[in-house]
Amino acid sequence: MASNALVQTRLDADVKENATAVRILLTRTANKRMLLPKPVSNSHRIQLRRSVQGAPAFG
């Protein structure tokens, strides 16, 4: 396939919004020369959620 080939497709609106958000994140990351954080595993995500739920409320 040529490097300048055009691909056209129809996307669900939610998929398009998510893809746009990811594109913006990657563009900003590249412009600022920052590294993306490592993906969080499910076990870490559950542990973080539990710690946040158990934290005292502000105010």
Contacts of 25 (CB under 8 A, 6+ apart): 36
In a domain, 8, yes or no: no
Which DSSP string do the residues of the chain spell out, in sequence order? --TT--------HHHHHHHHHHHHHHHHHHHHTPPPPPPPPHHHHHHHHHHHHTSPPP-
The predicted pLDDT at position 2 comes to 65
pTM above 0.95, yes or no: no
In a domain, 1, yes or no: no
**What is the count of structural domains for the chain?**
1
The predicted pLDDT at position 59 comes to 43
In a domain, 57, yes or no: no
In a domain, 4, yes or no: no
The predicted pLDDT at position 26 comes to 82
Q: In a structure prediction context, what are the per-residue pLDDT tens digits for the chain, which is 59 residues long?
A: 567 888 888 888 888 888 888 888 888 878 887 766 667 677 777 777 777 777 665 54
What are 48's two structure tokens?
């973080």
Domain that holds residue 20: 13-52
In a domain, 45, yes or no: yes
